[in-house]
Amino acid sequence: MVERVKFRVFRYRPEDGGRGIYREYEVPVKKGMTILDGLIYIKENLDPTLSVRYSCRMAICGSCGVRVNAIETLACHTQILELRRRLITVEPMRNYPLIKDLVTDMAPLFRKQKALMTWLIRQDTEEQENPTRQYLQSEEELERYLQFTYCIQCGLCYSACPVVSTFPDFYGPQPLMKAYRYYADSRDEGGVVRTRLVDRFEGVWRCHFAGSCSAVCPKGVDPALAIQLLRRAALKG
């Protein structure tokens, strides 16, 4: 059975002087259709000028993050009929520079990740490059950070964070979570360096535990928990 659902899509062209508008499109919807399917339908049949970023269409690449009815979600991960709405508002993510329509510039997120050295740090770099043995971990050691490895870097948490909105220098949930992921890894030796990086005003101390990051994560990662544990680590030094 086909239903008709109205899509209210945010449109923005930088050459139009920095103001955005909403355009409405009527989309025929079948069971199983996602928000991304709806946007592709609009692009193919109603308005080819619509810009939307996507790749895998199965919640793995993290490219199609948008705000649907005022909450961050992956467009490919949200079924239209499950929303039970006749009008669906689709907007770009917050807290990122806007490129066009629903496409945002993810550079701030990646820049902050890099600033926090979110990779495995070893003192013996030669051994790291050419390991001479295996570095096994116990089940408990794995559990300490495994949850945080599920992150696909879609950036929804960064968009949902009210602290990033009010204080753009804040590192944000995803980079801090990533820093904790490596801090908690028993193979990592960069704990002191990394805790010094996050032990500052724009680091862990700025988080107010609004929990929006964990609420919107499509992979069940818990950045709010990671930040609180990282804060404890920073206090210990």
Closest approach, Cβ 130 to another protein, in A, equals 31
Among 35, 125, 143, smallest CA distance to 80 is for 35
Query: What is the rounded distance in angstroms from the CA atom of residue 20 to the CA atom of residue 113?
Result: 29
Closest approach, Cβ 225 to another protein, in A, equals 4
Query: What is the rounded distance in angstroms from the CA atom of residue 39 to the CA atom of residue 75?
Result: 9
Measured from the CB atom, the residue of 112 and 206 that comes closer to another protein is 206
Measured from the CB atom, the residue of 19 and 133 that comes closer to another protein is 19
Closest approach, Cβ 1 to another protein, in A, equals 27
Closest approach, Cβ 12 to another protein, in A, equals 6
Sign of torsion, CA 176 226 72 208? negative
Instruction: Specify the 3-state DSSP secondary structure of 46.
Output: helix
Closest approach, Cβ 141 to another protein, in A, equals 12
Measured from the CB atom, the residue of 10 and 54 that comes closer to another protein is 10
Residues making contact with another protein (CB under 8 A) = 10, 12, 17-23, 69-71, 94, 98, 143-148, 150, 160, 162, 165-166, 184, 207-212, 214-217, 219-222, 224-226, 228-229, 231-232, 235
CA 150 to chain centre: 12
Measured from the CB atom, the residue of 220 and 237 that comes closer to another protein is 220
Among 83, 76, 91, 89, smallest CA distance to 34 is for 76
Measured from the CB atom, the residue of 5 and 234 that comes closer to another protein is 234
Query: What is the rounded distance in angstroms from the CA atom of residue 237 to the CA atom of residue 235?
Result: 5
Which residue is listed with tokens 């964070």? 161
The H or E element containing residue 88 is strand 87-91
Measured from the CB atom, the residue of 30 and 208 that comes closer to another protein is 208
Closest approach, Cβ 200 to another protein, in A, equals 16
199 vs 60, 116, 162, CA distance in Å?
32, 11, 20
Instruction: Specify the 3-state DSSP secondary structure of 143.
Output: helix
